[in-house]
Amino acid sequence: MNKNELIELKTLAFDLNDEQSVNTLSKSLSELKEAGYSKVLLEIKTSPDQELDRSHIDIELFRKIKEIQELPDWVVINFILAAGKLKDSSLTEHLSYG
Protein backbone atom coordinates (compact mmCIF):
# COMPACT_ATOMS: atom_id res chain seq x y z
CA MET A 1 0.00 0.00 0.00
CA ASN A 2 1.64 3.20 -1.20
CA LYS A 3 0.79 5.98 1.26
CA ASN A 4 1.17 8.64 -1.46
CA GLU A 5 -1.62 7.07 -3.47
CA LEU A 6 -4.15 6.70 -0.64
CA ILE A 7 -7.50 8.49 -0.60
CA GLU A 8 -9.41 9.42 2.54
CA LEU A 9 -12.78 7.70 2.86
CA LYS A 10 -13.88 8.91 6.27
CA THR A 11 -12.62 10.04 9.63
CA LEU A 12 -13.78 8.48 12.87
CA ALA A 13 -13.07 9.81 16.37
CA PHE A 14 -13.10 7.51 19.38
CA ASP A 15 -12.78 7.84 23.13
CA LEU A 16 -10.86 4.74 24.18
CA ASN A 17 -12.19 5.14 27.72
CA ASP A 18 -15.71 4.60 26.42
CA GLU A 19 -16.55 0.93 25.79
CA GLN A 20 -19.15 1.96 23.21
CA SER A 21 -16.44 3.68 21.14
CA VAL A 22 -14.43 0.46 21.04
CA ASN A 23 -17.51 -1.40 19.84
CA THR A 24 -18.16 1.29 17.22
CA LEU A 25 -14.59 0.98 15.93
CA SER A 26 -14.97 -2.78 15.59
CA LYS A 27 -18.28 -2.33 13.79
CA SER A 28 -16.79 0.29 11.43
CA LEU A 29 -13.93 -2.03 10.50
CA SER A 30 -16.38 -4.88 9.86
CA GLU A 31 -18.49 -2.59 7.64
CA LEU A 32 -15.42 -1.64 5.61
CA LYS A 33 -14.53 -5.29 5.13
CA GLU A 34 -18.09 -6.13 4.08
CA ALA A 35 -17.96 -3.23 1.60
CA GLY A 36 -15.02 -4.92 -0.13
CA TYR A 37 -12.06 -3.13 1.41
CA SER A 38 -9.19 -5.41 2.39
CA LYS A 39 -6.57 -2.88 3.51
CA VAL A 40 -6.93 0.38 5.41
CA LEU A 41 -4.46 2.75 7.04
CA LEU A 42 -5.23 3.60 10.66
CA GLU A 43 -3.63 6.86 11.77
CA ILE A 44 -3.47 7.59 15.49
CA LYS A 45 -3.84 11.29 16.29
CA THR A 46 -4.26 13.06 19.59
CA SER A 47 -4.36 16.57 20.98
CA PRO A 48 -1.10 18.30 21.95
CA ASP A 49 -2.36 18.65 25.53
CA GLN A 50 -3.03 14.93 25.80
CA GLU A 51 0.39 14.07 24.34
CA LEU A 52 2.17 16.47 26.68
CA ASP A 53 0.44 14.87 29.65
CA ARG A 54 0.92 11.29 28.44
CA SER A 55 4.61 11.78 27.66
CA HIS A 56 5.37 13.66 30.90
CA ILE A 57 6.93 16.51 28.94
CA ASP A 58 8.01 19.56 30.92
CA ILE A 59 5.31 22.10 30.04
CA GLU A 60 7.57 25.09 30.66
CA LEU A 61 10.26 23.67 28.36
CA PHE A 62 7.61 23.00 25.72
CA ARG A 63 6.26 26.56 25.93
CA LYS A 64 9.73 28.15 25.79
CA ILE A 65 10.77 26.18 22.70
CA LYS A 66 7.43 26.82 21.00
CA GLU A 67 7.56 30.55 21.75
CA ILE A 68 11.20 31.12 20.79
CA GLN A 69 11.21 28.94 17.68
CA GLU A 70 7.63 29.76 16.62
CA LEU A 71 6.95 26.11 15.77
CA PRO A 72 3.70 24.13 15.73
CA ASP A 73 2.92 22.09 18.85
CA TRP A 74 3.51 18.73 17.18
CA VAL A 75 6.98 19.74 15.95
CA VAL A 76 8.07 20.79 19.44
CA ILE A 77 6.63 17.62 21.00
CA ASN A 78 8.44 15.39 18.48
CA PHE A 79 11.66 17.36 19.03
CA ILE A 80 11.50 16.92 22.80
CA LEU A 81 10.64 13.23 22.55
CA ALA A 82 13.54 12.65 20.12
CA ALA A 83 16.09 14.40 22.33
CA GLY A 84 18.94 12.05 23.20
CA LYS A 85 17.67 9.06 21.19
CA LEU A 86 20.67 9.16 18.84
CA LYS A 87 23.23 9.62 21.62
CA ASP A 88 24.14 5.93 21.98
CA SER A 89 23.41 4.95 18.38
CA SER A 90 26.00 4.20 15.72
CA LEU A 91 24.78 7.12 13.61
CA THR A 92 28.20 8.82 13.51
CA GLU A 93 29.70 5.64 12.03
CA HIS A 94 27.07 5.65 9.28
CA LEU A 95 27.64 9.34 8.55
CA SER A 96 31.44 9.20 8.41
CA TYR A 97 33.09 9.51 5.02
CA GLY A 98 35.69 6.87 5.67
Q: Is residue 18 part of a domain?
A: yes
Question: Do 53 and 16 belong together in one domain?
Answer: no
pLDDT at 87: 60
What's the domain range around 57?
A: 48-95
- What's the rounded mean pLDDT across residues 12-37? 90
Question: Do 26 and 62 belong together in one domain?
Answer: no
- DSSP per-residue string spanning 42-97: ------HHHHHHHHT--HHHHHHHHHHHT--HHHHHHHHHHTTTTTTSSHHHHH--
Question: What does pTM read for this prediction?
Answer: 0.53
Q: Is residue 89 part of a domain?
A: yes
The tally of domains found in the chain comes to: 2
Question: Do 91 and 56 belong together in one domain?
Answer: yes
pLDDT at 44: 85
Q: Is residue 42 part of a domain?
A: no
**pLDDT tens, residue by residue, 25-62:** 899 999 999 999 998 888 888 888 888 888 888 899 99
Tallying the residues shown for the chain, one arrives at 98
